[in-house]
Amino acid sequence: MAAADSPVRLVIHGASGRMGQALVRLCAEAPALRLVAAVAGSEAPHIAGVPGFAAGELASLPAFEACIDFSLPAGFDRVLDRCLAQGAAFVSGTTGLDSHQLARLDEAAARIPVLWAANFSLGVAVLQDLVRRAAAALPQWHRDIVETHHVHKKDAPSGTALALGESIVEGGGAAPHYASLRAGDIVGEHLVQFTGAGERIELIHRATHRDIFARGALHCASALAHRAPGRYRVIDLLSGMTGRGA
């Protein structure tokens, strides 16, 4: 294992995707990280100066201390197994995971540091807290979540919408209704609406650039690499981050 003060050796899994490309680009500006391998689905990605691997070649990866996974649920189990074998920190933003895959995150956390989040923006982490408090104060009001994303997004409702729904349930009262819209190139919008008789509260988060998610995930990977095994939350790792303009 490398010393805690040398750059963290990082693998990006899903490196050819929309998020993966942002991660690779921004990683080059992060002195705390050194990208040692980029992995994509059926074909190895071609990135100057970085060894590329297809998803079926995970056994050939060089040694690494952290992995960021923004891929699809079909690739999730294999990359988590590889991180367990390596004893590396696992940071994942892949959404649409099934209940077995979500349970595996807790099992893995007994052996490695694990952070899975449906959203890596600090704004959404704060929105979750606001929504929980509103739900606790307004248990009788109707709750609705409307999420809007680009036309390529496969899962619906979005992972972020479901996480916001969990925050509502934690606050108390009924679970929300969900609505999903797919349009154009929208990065991600989430409206949480509480409606009573004659009045309504709307809490909205709009992501205008996917760099916010990539920067958040890169920061979490460098922060997590040398920590003890366990489950970690975005808000704990991102709340100290400054200068978050994309």
Which candidate in 13, 46, 149, 152 is catalytic? 149
- The binding track of 99-118 with respect to ligand NAD, each residue x by CB under 6 A or -, is ------------------xx
- The answer to whether 128 contacts ligand NAD (rule: CB under 6 A) is no
Q: Is 149 a catalytic residue?
A: yes
Among 8, 20, 157, 232, binds ligand NAD (CB under 6 A): 20
Decide if 115 contacts 234 (C-beta within 8 A). yes
Longest dimension (CA), the chain: 62
- The answer to whether 95 contacts ligand NAD (rule: CB under 6 A) is yes
* Nearest to 39, CA basis, from 27, 59, 29, 28: 59
What is the phi-psi region of residue 176: left when phi exceeds 0, alpha when psi lies from -120 to 50, beta otherwise? beta
Q: Is 153 a catalytic residue?
A: yes
Q: How far is the CB of 149 from ligand NAD (least distance, A)?
A: 8
Q: Beta strand pairing status for 52-54 and 66-69?
A: unpaired
- Cα 187 to Cα 229: distance, rounded to the nearest angstrom: 32
- The answer to whether 232 contacts ligand NAD (rule: CB under 6 A) is no
Helix (H) or strand (E) holding 187: none
Q: Considering CB under 6 A, how many residues would be counted as binding ligand NAD?
A: 25
For 110, half-sphere exposure in the C-beta direction (CA atoms, 13 angstrom radius) is 4
Decide if 138 contacts 174 (C-beta within 8 A). no
Q: Which residues are annotated as a binding site for NAD(+)?
A: 14-19, 93-95, 117-120
Binding region for (S)-2,3,4,5-tetrahydrodipicolinate: 150, 159-160
Q: Which residues make up the interface to ligand NAD (CB under 6 A)?
A: 14-20, 40-41, 55, 70-72, 74-75, 93-96, 117-120, 210, 213
Kindly list the catalytic residues: 149, 153
